[in-house]
Structure 1
Amino acid sequence: GSEAFPQYFALLNAWLLDAGGVEPITEAHPARGIHASPSGPSHPDLFLLCSSPETADFAGRAGVGMVFAEFIARTDGGPAVSAYRAAFSPSAFRQAGWAAVATIALAAETTEAAERLAAPMRASALAGLDGPGADGERPRFPRIEDALAFLEARRDDPRLAGVKARAIVGDPQTVRRGLAQRAEATGADELFVMAVGPDLDSRVRSLELIRAG
């Protein structure tokens, strides 16, 4: 549960710092005698994946890196980044704060192609807002044609605009511009792009087009 998370998080920190020789676990520590392996002259950097300003505040107070998952929270990462920076306290992991935002983006050679490829993602997200289907499963749209038909039938659904706003979709220039605007608006040090698309080829191609700029 969330009440126990800080204690388990502190144990993880202790094991990592002990393995790196930064802060050895002492006999007075609750985890005495339990050591992470392998040990060495360094330890992994530590980041907390957050989905609210409250968890971002926790990451700041813990002195670790923070990544805000816009694709989970379905909300803008700016308030979380601000909360993280306001709360940040230096630690053995880092002396200065570092905040990232993970967002959804899909690029194709043209805007029309990108909008078509985004249809299954949008249809699934919109259908998911209705809850599980009669079989208890979340509706999915493996075929683009089915997704387009569903979206056309629901084109007047007031929630559709919010679903579309969750992802940056378009030609490469549009997507790169949108990502730059997202980084500036949220104040993030870095963006993580969650690749989306109806198949692996479209996801890989999307990342290639974004990177090419």
Structure 2
Amino acid sequence: MAVPLSVLDLAPVASGSTASEALRNTVDLAQLAERLGFARCWYAEHHGMPSIASSVPEIVVAHVAAATSRIRLGSGGIMLPNHAPLRIAEAFHTLNALHPGRIDLGIGRAPGTDPVTSSALRPFDAEQFPQQLEEMFALSRGEYGEGHPFRGVRVVPGDVPLPPVWLLGSSGASARLAGSLGLGYSFARHFSPSPPAPAFQAYRESFQPSDAFPAPHAIVAVSAVCAESRDEAEFLASSMQLGWVRLQRREFGPIPTPEEATAHPYTPRERAVAESYRALTFVGTPAEVRERIDAVVEETGADEVMVITTVHSHAARRRSYELLAREYGIG
């Protein structure tokens, strides 16, 4: 295997199921990923979406960490404009104290929700993201000096640092910032139509070594559905094609069944939306999916591949990761 494989888990909620069951599935999937040899599992912050149960990644991380022993766990990511920097510093200092050497802090600048829900979160201005990031690090390290209003603020527990921090991006806007700060970088190719290679190049060109990252480390996140046959994989993937169409209409329901998806009477416009999502997803046999993944690694020089598999059936999702692990010879 050329690069490590990891898991991005949005705790998908399938029709006929519940968010509580989806959260239980996160534990089951992480335990499977640990046995199969995946490097890490990350959980993303989304709000107001009945198809996604991971609204509070730090709680999911803590719960899954208690049920696993080796695999790294983290946020992919925490949407920093939704939070006070002190709050995130405290949460991830705590996680790092509880599970030393196993925690990652992935941070993004998008709200992870619709405008109305975003207003209910009372977020910061996303334009302040670099300043928020600087504040989080300064508070974590106790760097505010004489005369600063936060001089006496202490992050507790204070006997551990923040875990390794990664900036998440989908357009390349955060790549140079991540590099200049000596952070990790992760590109969301699983939903972004922007080519990842320029962002990776910008990250590496601007990289300054740090204690956490003496060398650059860039992750590319891809969407993939593996099955024993291409027909079966296409059938499973149809759920999220319809889900994506509904998402573009701001219909945030649970993930439909593949039977419902294949029977849906797509309009020409809906078909175009579904095909645009399908173009971003690697669907097929393990060998076919590996060929697509390896091509992205070759294109970007990624140090790691993070795979998200969103299908209606949790058993089929497990099987997809099992087949991919076997194809790469890691389990």
Determine helix, strand or coil for the equivalent of 1:73.
coil
Q: Does 1:62 align with 2:207?
A: no
Change beyond 3 A, Cα 1:194–1:28: farther
Write out aligned runs for 1:30-109 (5 A): 30-40=149-159, 42-109=161-228
Write out aligned runs for 1:13-32 (5 A): 13-18=137-142, 25-27=144-146, 29-32=148-151
Quote the Cα distance in structure 2 between the aligned partners of 1:66 and 1:108.
30
* 2:135 equivalent in structure 1: 11
* Residues 180 and 208, structure 2, Cα contact 8 Å, conserved in 1: yes
* 2:302 equivalent in structure 1: 188
* 1:170 equivalent in structure 2: 284
Determine helix, strand or coil for the equivalent of 1:53.
coil
* Residues 16 and 44, structure 1, Cα contact 8 Å, conserved in 2: no
Among candidates 238, 247, 250, match of residue 128 of structure 1: 247
Structure 2 residues not aligned, in runs of 5+: 1-124
Quote the Cα distance in structure 2 between the aligned partners of 1:145 and 1:174.
24
* Residues 11 and 31, structure 1, Cα contact 8 Å, conserved in 2: no
1:9-53 per-residue CA deviation (whole Å, 9 max, x = no partner) reads: 0121223334xxxxx554455532222222336541111111221
Q: Which amino acid aligns with 1:4?
A: Q
* Residues 123 and 151, structure 1, Cα contact 8 Å, conserved in 2: no
* Aligned length, in residue pairs: 203
- Say what the alpha-carbon RMSD is for the aligned residues: 2.5
The list of structure 1 runs, each at least 4 consecutive aligned residues, that deviate by more than 6 angstroms after superposition, is none
Q: Does 1:205 align with 2:319?
A: yes
Quote the Cα distance in structure 1 between the aligned partners of 2:316 and 2:289.
15
Cα displacement (A) at 1:196:
1.5
Range with bigger deviation, 30-39 or 174-183:
30-39
Please, what TM-score do these two structures have when normalized by structure 1?
A: 0.83
* Residues 119 and 151, structure 1, Cα contact 8 Å, conserved in 2: no
Determine helix, strand or coil for the equivalent of 1:4.
helix
* 1:21 equivalent in structure 2: none
Q: Which amino acid aligns with 1:198?
A: H
Cα displacement (A) at 1:84:
1.2
Quote the Cα distance in structure 2 between the aligned partners of 1:113 and 1:107.
9
